[in-house]
Chains A and B, each alone.
Chain A
Amino acid sequence: MKILLTKISGFVLIGAGVLLAGCSRSDESARSDSHSGNLSPAEQSYVAPGKMDEFYLFYSGGHSGQVFVAGIPSMRHLCTIPVFAPYSGTGYGFDEESKALLGDFTWGDVHHPALSQTDSLYDGRWLFVNDNANNRVARIDLRDFKTKQVLGPIPNSSGNHGSSFVTENTEYILVATRFSVPLPKGRYADPKDYAEEFNGMVSGIKVSPESGEMSVGWQIVTPPFNWDLGSTGKGPSSGWAFWTSYNTEMASSVMEVNASQRDRDLAAFVNWHHAEAAVRAGKVTIEDGIPMIDPAKTPGILYFVEIGKSPHGIDTDPSGRWIVASGKLQPTTTVFDFEKVLAAIDAKKFSGEFRGVPIIDYNAIVEGEVPIGLGPLHTQFDGKGSAYTSLYIESAVAKWKMPPWTDAEKADLNSVVTDKIPVHFNIGHLVIGGSDTREPYGEWLVAMNKLSKGRHLSVGPSQPESSQLIDITGKKMNMVYESFTEPEPHFAQILRANTIQPIEVYPKSENHDPNAIWSLDEGIVERNGNVVEAKIVAVRSRFGPDRIDAQVGDTLILHITNIEQTPDMIHGFGLAEHNLNVVMDPGETKTVRLKLEKSGVFPFYCTNFCSALHQEMQGYLAVRPAPEVAIVE
């Protein structure tokens, strides 16, 4: 018996060993092969049918209001996550829950997605995105790739562009305003009195560590500069965040000229730990329900730093020591040493102040101005000592060596620019996986280009954007693939696929909707006054009940539960001529509410192809005319 047991356990161990060996081998091959110098670009980006990508790419969808998900290295579009705009493909914006998420808006302008972090590494819990247009922030849960919360419009702010930047342990999403407005919101002031009457804002959006629920924690009122882009600190810059601005001129008309007059604009260096402490100490006023800090009255929270000229991106390197800001109208990118920033603040090395906020002496903190090319916008890091900066005007990506530099390098910073690759055309953002963490993946770079003309089959005047995949594992960058997206990715985030294990059905045990039903026998239509309420099952290949009777003037409430627990067995509910399509994933209950305003018989049917008898999955909403009311003379 003993021998037998030993033998069996031996077999089990051998079995497990084979499995493990199998796993590691396939992982290794995928990794090393896709970057092997012996492979053609086609082989590097080829992911055979049935095989999967190694990384997720979460693109912001710009003014489409959505988030696009693609795979790397194939660059295949995998799905669209609707956030700020209705998306009938997944029924978003038609049921009561997603209508509530959209609020009063049917679009948003998604710019900068940010993955949640723990200890400055992606933890795979949430993706946060901003809405530049309507001053909102949304949270997408990466367990099911669904939008779970839309916060906003954020009080006291307008133009949520400098967003969303996640702190080291996702304590906050830090955001800043691109557009300044007279405060409190709703107040009229003449735009010609911009400098005096308008204000900008930096906000700390607090994130619940358990649920991810966001709320506005505090705000810092600022002069009406146009806060542009930012990043958060880590390591020596832990507890800090940085934003560039344009329009230090505080112009309010013909901005392209009037906001481009000064050689340097002021960046904001914000100590958010101190902001938190000021709120705790009560050094705030409450404005529109939000604790607000006046940085002139509470020193130590906000500092200004001069950066040339009309800068755009400001990025913290993986060590947290180097802050890289790009002056989009000058051919250099500026590197600051954050250790020197702390020393300068300690020694009060200020070159002046603006409205009571100290301006840190530029010369005391600058490490160098790297002449990288025309129109530098954003910088990403590979974690191996190199930085990559997008050059909008030059249509290129520059690779350059991060400090510390030798004296010879410092004497001629041209020498630290080690490679340049053309992109097509007018690159905006670029992304390297994990660049904003302390351990970048350093394998792939995606260049997101604003113009794609002449690069694809003509689709008429309305053109897609181009995204180009660049291998950065070698000394020289190597373009591998080009794909096209809907308008309009700004920034993106890359996440190693094995960081997350999304669910593929909503487990029945987790459905706590009081109106969920789980068998055809439970289907019911009830009238209560002039409200007709139905609980409906959707299952292959029928709705139960499949007939709903009502009359004109009724309010119809439908609770539809997809009782399937099988992956990809999705049912839709489209109602003819009522502008209604909801889609229920397996195990999901959705509620719709509509006022019936016309008589007739209206077919409803399953909109998401489900089964061989999908076509037959239909029913009728029979609406009688309203009963005639006797008119009493």
Chain B
Amino acid sequence: MKSHLLDAEIRFMEKPLNGLSRFWLMLSVGTLIGAVIFPLWKIHLVAPQYQEGLQLTIYAWKLVGGNGGQDLVEINNLNHYIGMRAIRAVDFIEMKWIPFAFGLFGMLALRAAVHGKMSQVVDLLALFLYFGVFSFGSFFYRMYQYGHDLDPRAPVNIEPFTPTVLGSQQIANFLQTSLPMSGSFCLFAFVVFQLMAIWSSRKESL
């Protein structure tokens, strides 16, 4: 019985990909390029004396302060009062390997498009989801660290906190908003294209 069930899955994995699936895979490579070019996430801070807001834009490979980089200087300047470590691009080691990982996923997508085997798409999707969850978790942990690893000798003592990763929250006089940007939507599109590639060839015969 048991081996009988698995047989069906294994047969599914062996299915060839039709032209439409291959097209979706090719498109998905484009979304990865988009995910490098476009910003992934933004953190926006608004306070009474910062009506125009302070913005931090996170790319796969760099961290950009708004207002010509000045906003990051300003955020760090303000955070030193609560003893938060300065946010510096060099500390984000993810930014070194994430573009590399994107390249890897792109090559795997191309491989599947050329080779045309269902299992390759399923593998790619599983790996990518794992990568996505891991990266998001790592981002969350970084936020947690910044908000918890506070210098006890700082002029202002506040309860350790985690800056919000998605949505808005009030931190002292600042309303902090974190939202995904177009690069993240590209990554989401990558997942959708993989699913479409699987769906399009689901009825192909072996």
Contact = CB atoms under 8 A, between A and B. Distances in A.
A612 B77 CA distance: 12
A541 B77 CA distance: 9
Given A565-B70, A566-B70, A613 B155 contact: yes
A565 B155 contact: no
Interface string B71-99: 00110010001000000000000000000
A78 B106 CA distance: 58
Contacts of A565: 70, 73-74
Contacts of B77: 539-540, 564, 566
A541 B156 CA distance: 12
A541 B81 CA distance: 9
A566 B81 contact: no
Contacts of A564: 77
B81 A612 contact: yes
A564 B156 CA distance: 21
Given A612-B81, A613-B81, A566 B155 contact: no
A564 B76 CA distance: 12
A211 to B, nearest CB: 26
Nearest to B74: A566
B175 to A, nearest CB: 18
A609 to B, nearest CB: 12
B46 to A, nearest CB: 15
Interface string A556-584: 00000000111000000000000000000
Interface string A44-72: 00000000000000000000000000000
Interface in B43-79: 70, 73-74, 77
Contacts of B155: 541, 613, 616
Interface string A358-401: 00000000000000000000000000000000000000000000
Q: Which residue, A539, A564, A566, has most C-beta atoms of chain B within 10 A?
A: A566
Q: Dominant SS at the A interface?
A: loop
Interface residues of B, number: 7
Nearest to A565: B70
B181 to A, nearest CB: 16
A566 B81 CA distance: 17
Contacts of A539: 77
Nearest to A509: B68
Contacts of B74: 565-566
Contacts of B156: 612
Interface in A574-633: 612-613, 616
Nearest to B80: A540
A157 B73 CA distance: 52
B97 to A, nearest CB: 30
Interface in A514-545: 539-541
A535 B171 CA distance: 36
A616 B156 CA distance: 13
A79 to B, nearest CB: 19
A564 B77 CA distance: 9
A566 B54 CA distance: 11
Nearest to A616: B155
Contacts of B73: 565
A149 B193 CA distance: 66
Nearest to B49: A568
A612 B73 CA distance: 18
A550 to B, nearest CB: 29
Interface string B145-161: 00000000001100000
Interface string A429-460: 00000000000000000000000000000000
B68 to A, nearest CB: 9
A566 B70 CA distance: 8
A555 B83 CA distance: 38
Residue of A541, A565, A612, A616 with most partner-chain B CB within 10 A: A565
Contacts of B81: 540-541, 612-613
B180 to A, nearest CB: 19
Nearest to A568: B49
A195 to B, nearest CB: 65
A612 B74 CA distance: 15
A564 B70 CA distance: 9
B186 to A, nearest CB: 15
Contacts of A541: 81, 155
A613 B83 CA distance: 14
B189 to A, nearest CB: 13
Interface string B126-162: 0000000000000000000000000000011000000
A564 to B, nearest CB: 8
A541 B70 CA distance: 18
A363 to B, nearest CB: 64
A226 to B, nearest CB: 53
A568 to B, nearest CB: 8
B51 to A, nearest CB: 10
A486 B81 CA distance: 40
A616 B154 CA distance: 13
Nearest to A505: B70
Contacts of B70: 565-566
A564 B71 CA distance: 11
Contacts of A540: 77, 81
B29 to A, nearest CB: 16
Which of B74, B77, B155, B156 has most A Cβ within 10 Å?
B77
A481 to B, nearest CB: 28
A610 to B, nearest CB: 11
A566 B65 CA distance: 13
A188 B70 CA distance: 61
Interface string A261-286: 00000000000000000000000000
A517 to B, nearest CB: 15
A21 B13 CA distance: 57
A563 to B, nearest CB: 9
B86 to A, nearest CB: 11
Interface string A486-504: 0000000000000000000
A612 B81 CA distance: 9
Contacts of A616: 155
A330 B73 CA distance: 65
Nearest to A611: B81
Given A540-B77, A566-B74, A613-B155, 11 more contacts: A539-B77, A540-B81, A541-B81, A541-B155, A564-B77, A565-B70, A565-B73, A565-B74, A566-B77, A612-B81, A616-B155
Interface of A: 539-541, 564-566, 612-613, 616
6 A-B pairs with least C-beta separation: A565-B70, A566-B74, A613-B155, A540-B77, A565-B73, A612-B81
7 contacts: A539-B77, A540-B77, A564-B77, A566-B74, A566-B77, A612-B156, A613-B155
